[in-house]
Structure 1
Amino acid sequence: MAPNFGRSISFPLTPARSFSKSSRHLRSISLPGTTSSHPLLASLNAHIVTIRAWIQDTAAAGSSLPAGLANIHALHAALADLLLLPESRAALQCTTSKAADSLLDAFLLLADAHQGFQECLISLSHAAAESRAALRRGEATRLASAARSQRRAEKVLARLAASISAVSSKCARLNLVGEDAEMAGAIMQAAAASAAASAAVFSAAASMSYSASCCKKMAIFVPVFATRKAAAPETAEAAMERLHVLERCFDECDGACNRVFRSVVQTRVSLLNVMTPTI
């Protein structure tokens, strides 16, 4: 479900923590920041740091999809809280039209990408189940059909990852100036981090699918397994177990994918409400 914007914020605005023009002039946009003007901004920065660390771990050793999706959702929850502040609303309304359009476009593309990701996971889960059934019954034609579906979904994931990586780079390159640069810049960096993490999640899912059910590895199992030669059943059983693990992982990610998609959509709606003048 989307974050509930009606919930209370645990960091009340006090005079000592409110923004002043002088403090905003002195602070840097660079992230991560250890001394932010408001606790909610510090919380957002912390989530950005966490997401960047997860991306590095994924590149190094392959982190789990649920962890990546949970980090993206947590980032958007922190962003939702931040967007309730008058300071953040004022900062966004003062940004240039180019920066505002880039931010809105980024979250629109993110929403579209996560919707496509959900569809790909469903396709990959179904392909894994079909491949597993084909191996069990020795049906080469059924296995080939499942492999084709798998390859199509993996190609879509690769395209989604590439398009979202471009969004991340575009957001990260935007330079904001002025007294509201810290707040607006943090929101822009959050968009960049969300896009980068999304690309990593998409790539990781495609890699998991390919590793677990590569058609070149699977094709040799069917005729041998069907004739029940001595060495074949053990190899095919291992392949079916990998497919079962893959299918279960993708099925378990369904709820997390939906939560992330809804949170991205809600973030864009909130930004649009802030940036659109009241008629």
Structure 2
Amino acid sequence: MAPNFGRSISFPLTPARSFSKSSRHVRSVSLPGTTSSHPLLANLHAHIAAVRSWIQDTASLQAGLANIHALHAALADLLLLPASVAALRCTTSNTGDRLLDAFLLLADAHQGFQECLLELRQAAAESRTALRRGDAGRLASASSSQRRAEKDLARLAASVSAVSTKCARLNLVAVSGEEAEMAYALVEAAAASAAASAAVFSAAASMSSAVSSCKKTATFIPAFARKSTAPESAEATVERLHALEQCFDECDGACDMVFRSVVQTRVSLLNIMTPTI
């Protein structure tokens, strides 16, 4: 069972609606009219573009997680530059503190995502066993766990999708020159990471929900038709459950990598904001 996420994330009181393409749009906060020849900044922008491209077609969870991880790797390199450090330490800007808050929420959300995937894998395995044995009680219990995890994922998606909006409201007016370019890039990276994370969570919930519908079809078959149709329908559902379980299992390593990269990003930001005296 996924534990209560209330320890550090405030969820909305109602489950989030499906993550539509319109809500997936990430507002660009790039500094107008500026270009940089620095390869690390160009590399970060390339990964931001890749993340946004994946959001428009969330066909593969693993690809989405890989893009988020690569984005944070590029962000880690950029945070080593003096201009990035100067932009974050600017006393007249709240960029550093707000980014710290954003990445704390993202880290906690990705930890919750790992727990939800574990619960969904277990529910899928239980459902397969229940269908093969014709155990209605066991199937109902597994379905309940599955629905609960899906709702948790919807809440996680709603929480992290709000980060993009918050990042767009950051006070960057006081930052100028090369520092401004770096500040805008860091904010844009945070917004893209949050939007992609929300898309990943929503896609996982949608995949699980689609299989749940098949379970209902396989279970509620008229008595007079069971001999001829039930075995085939139930077997098809078992195969879909197995595919879902395998997909989430294959994402486990990528989920852990993303979680660690988000945590490392926040640690790097914290080190910059609180230098050793």
TM-score relative to the length of structure 2: 0.83
Residue correspondence of structure 1 range 136-215 to structure 2 within 5 A: 136-177=132-173, 178-179=176-177, 180-214=179-213
Computing the radius of gyration from Cα coordinates, the structure with the larger value is 1
1:267 to 265, 268, 275: 265
Worse-superposed segment, 28-37 or 73-82: 28-37
Instruction: Work out whether residues 118 and 254 of structure 1, in 8 Å CA contact, stay in contact via their aligned partners in 2.
Output: yes
SS in 1 for 2:43: helix
- Of residues 84, 92, 97, the one that matches 2:80 is 84
Asked if structure 2 preserves the Cα contact closer than 8 Å seen for 1:161 and 1:199, the reply is: yes
- Residues 31 and 78 of structure 1: is their aligned pair in 2 closer, same or farther, counting only changes over 3 Å? farther
Match for 1:114: what amino acid? H
1:29–1:182: 8 Å Cα contact kept in structure 2?
no
1:20-47 deviation per Cα after TM superposition (whole angstroms, max 9, x unaligned): xxxxxxxx96279994241100000011
Q: Corresponding residue for 2:242?
A: 244
Instruction: Give 1:119-130 correspondences, 5 Å limit.
Output: 119-130=115-126
Aligned partner of 1:131: which letter? S
User: Residues 135-159 of structure 1: CA distance to partner in whole angstroms, max 9, x if unpaired?
Assistant: 1111100000000000000000000
2:44 corresponding residue in structure 1: 44
- Indicate the residue corresponding to 1:220 in structure 2: 220
Change (3 A) 1:31 1:240: farther
| 1:254–1:220 Cα change, 3 Å | same
RMSD of aligned residue pairs (Cα, Å) = 2.3
Change in CA separation of 1:192 and 1:30 when aligned onto 2, cut-off 3 Å = same
User: Greater shift after overlay, 174-183 or 130-139?
Assistant: 174-183
Aligned in 2, Cα 1:91/1:98: closer, same or farther, shift over 3 Å? closer
* Pairs within 5 Å for 1:87-126: 87-94=83-90, 96=92, 98-126=94-122
- Read off the aligned partner of 1:220 and give its amino acid letter: F
Q: Which amino acid aligns with 2:103?
A: F
Q: Quote the residue 1:16 is aligned against.
A: none
Q: Aligned residue for 2:254? A: 256
Listed as ranges, the gaps of 5+ residues in structure 2 are 1-27
List runs of 5+ in structure 1 lacking aligned partners: 1-27
Offset of 1:229 from its aligned partner?
0.7
In the TM superposition, residue 87 of structure 1 has moved relative to its aligned partner by 2.0
* Structure 2 residue identity aligned to 1:261: F
8 A contact 1:92–1:274 mirrored in 2: yes
| Aligned counterparts of 1:218 and 1:263: Cα–Cα separation in 2 | 41
Q: Per the alignment, do residues 116 and 158 of structure 1 end up closer, same or farther by CA in structure 2, a change over 3 Å counting?
A: same
Whether the aligned pair in 1 keeps the contact of 2:31 and 2:181 (CA below 8 Å) is no
CA 113–32 in structure 1, closer or farther in 2 if over 3 Å, else same: farther
* Aligned position for 2:5: none
Shift in Å, 1:277: 3.6
Residue 16 of structure 2 aligns with which residue?
none
Q: Distance in 1 between matches of 2:201 and 2:170?
A: 24
Q: Equivalents in 1 of 2:32, 2:228: separation in Å? A: 58
Distance change (3 Å), C-alpha of 1:173 and 1:57 = farther
Separation in 1 of the partners of 2:52 and 2:85? 26
Paired residue secondary structure (1:167): helix
**What's the secondary structure of 1:79's corresponding residue?**
helix
The total of aligned residue pairs comes to 246
Q: Is the 8 A contact 2:123 2:145 kept in 1?
A: yes
Q: Secondary structure at the match of 1:174?
A: coil
Segments ≥4 residues shifted beyond 4 Å? 31-34
Structure 2 SS opposite 1:231: helix
Please say if residues 51 and 197 of structure 1, whose CA atoms lie closer than 8 Å, have aligned partners that are also in contact: yes
Q: 2:93·2:171 contact (CA, 8 Å) conserved in 1? A: no
* Aligned-pair identity (%): 77
Measured after TM superposition, the shift of residue 99 of structure 1 is 2.1
* CA deviation string 1:132-182 (max 9, x = no partner): 111111110000000000000000000000000111211123251322111
